[in-house]
Structure 1
Amino acid sequence: MIRDGWRLALGTLTALPTAPPTVVNGASARAAVLLAPLAVLPLGAGVVALGWLGERLLLSGLTLGFLALGWLALTTRILHWDGLSDTADGLTASYDRERALQVMKSGTSGPAGVVATVVVAGLQVAGFAALLTSVRGAVAAGLAVCLSRLALSIACLRGVPPARRDGLGNPMSGVVAPWQAAMLWILWATGATAVAWWLDLPLAVMTPGMVLAAATVTALVAHCVRRLGGVTGDVFGAGIELALAAALLGTTAAL
């Protein structure tokens, strides 16, 4: 279960080479969701490395912000951005559920998808630009990358149905019990506090970002359940990108 969950997390959340899971069921999907923040540690480490390099090369925060965005896009195959675009297009295309799901499945980017991508990408660049001007800020940015994957524990909560029978949303929806999601958030909040103490940062530096990210993803999931009847793989991707933008901006405000 753990091995398949680890492979599923790496294969869907990163571009890192990994063997496919032997089976995808509720147990392996649950493990993948719970392991998601750990699976992207190499991506967060890359963001920290950018901050370290940028400080030594005297690169501007804006340059580092765009480099961080490009690094994450490259190492995730832009999969989550596609989900954000498709979700925005579906939610704005029609009040008819089937029509909205059809638009999301088409894979093309409409005006709403383009605007959503530009706005969220801009917010992420702004957050990275503010944090990557120091190594301590870069560590906080790297943590935000990992913490943003906690979005899946909300989108995959028990009681949140899949919007359709096919796609990634079906095997992964509803696999996480509320107590498991709560423990996961508490565990990562504790770890983030320990890192902040080690770096001599305010102990609650990551708290505003985590709260904002949780609220943003909860609102997205609730809206998708109301409009689409549930969640899809695209909604998972949208939740991750929105959670990252929220985590970065919340963390920036706390420093």
Structure 2
Amino acid sequence: MRGLALAFSWLTVLPVRAVPPGSALDPRLAAGAIRWAPVIGGLIGVGTGALVLGLTALGVPPLVGGLLAVGAGALATRGMHLDGLADTADGLGCYGPPERALAVMRSGGAGPFAVVTLLVVVGTQAAALATLAAAPPAALLAATALAGGVGRAGFVWCARRGVPAARPGGLGATVAGSQPVWVAVAWWAGLACLAAFAVPGRWAGPLAVGLAAALVVGLSWHTRRRFGGMTGDVLGAASELGVTAALVVLASG
């Protein structure tokens, strides 16, 4: 359970203390936290869906409610995933060797690739939530929980064994190579099975999981080739990409 507590500490704003101050972080504990990440994502997804339900019940237009819910999700995660997405977009968009891309990602600024990517992703998520707002409450909550869980399952894949850290230090170096490949596959397979029963529409749920998984696999392959490994920013990008893909499929179904 310490791994779950650390996952809450890392991935949310909740003041959960999993490691005593001044203590060294056990690599096994860090690996366990990554394995719990889809659970955290599912809970955040439920909160997102509940907020959309509440706002629309108060008469807020669905698209506005969707935008506010996406913003609340960013607050709940300290904006880390969106920040990782932005940095990854700028790193992939620049020219030069891996060292140049990593330097761009560390700079802290937001270039044009980051801005456009954030606009597209946040806008797409908000529009998908606005469409899902017309669904029955149980269906909306199931969809947002699934999207949140699928997105964080991308953490497990990106941190799989055989993928080194692109640079020393940071979350990426702490968890790089810590996950057996089967763990990510098991998460995706389990979520697809749950989605087949919990999400309306025979194929929408499993298709959402499959598309999100395929995009994360492609992102991990490309970032490993481009950066020489994975970073904490890549984890955030994988999460946002998976969430967006799943929401689009579920909203279309």
TM-score over 0.5 for the pair: yes
Superposition deviation, residue 101 in structure 1: 0.7
Q: Which runs of 4+ in 1 moved over 4 A?
A: none
Matches within 5 A, 1:20-99: 20-22=18-20, 23-99=24-100
Q: Tell me the distance in 2 between the aligned counterparts of 1:137 and 1:54.
A: 17
Q: Tell me the distance in 1 between the aligned counterparts of 2:70 and 2:45.
A: 11
Superposition deviation, residue 24 in structure 1: 2.9
Superposition deviation, residue 221 in structure 1: 0.9
Q: Tell me the distance in 2 between the aligned counterparts of 1:40 and 1:228.
A: 26
Matches within 5 A, 1:183-202: 183-196=186-199, 201-202=200-201
1:209 matched to 2:208: yes
* Contact residue 41 and residue 151 of structure 2 kept, 8 A: no
Q: Tell me the distance in 2 between the aligned counterparts of 1:155 and 1:129.
A: 30
Q: Which residue of 1 aligns with 2:4?
A: 6
Moved more, 7-16 or 212-221: 7-16
Task: Specify every segment of 5 or more residues in structure 2 that has no aligned partner in the other structure, as ranges.
Answer: none
User: What RMSD, in angstroms, separates the aligned Cα atoms of the two structures?
Assistant: 1.8
Superposition deviation, residue 137 in structure 1: 3.8
Q: Tell me the distance in 2 between the aligned counterparts of 1:46 and 1:95.
A: 41
Distance 1:60 1:142, change over 3 A: farther
Distance 1:58 1:136, change over 3 A: farther
Q: Tell me the distance in 2 between the aligned counterparts of 1:112 and 1:92.
A: 6
Task: Specify every segment of 5 or more residues in structure 1 that has no aligned partner in the other structure, as ranges.
Answer: none
SS in 2 for 1:252: helix
**TM-score, reference length from structure 2:** 0.91
Q: Tell me the distance in 1 between the aligned counterparts of 2:94 and 2:187.
A: 35
1:124 matched to 2:122: no
Q: Tell me the distance in 1 between the aligned counterparts of 2:100 and 2:18.
A: 33
- How many residues matched? 248
Superposition deviation, residue 61 in structure 1: 2.0
Superposition deviation, residue 186 in structure 1: 2.0
Distance 1:63 1:133, change over 3 A: farther
SS in 2 for 1:158: coil
Distance 1:55 1:100, change over 3 A: closer
Q: Which residue of 2 aligns with 1:136?
A: 138
Per-residue Cα deviation, 1:167-220 (whole angstroms, up to 9, x for no partner): 111111111111222222222222333323xxxx22433112111111111111
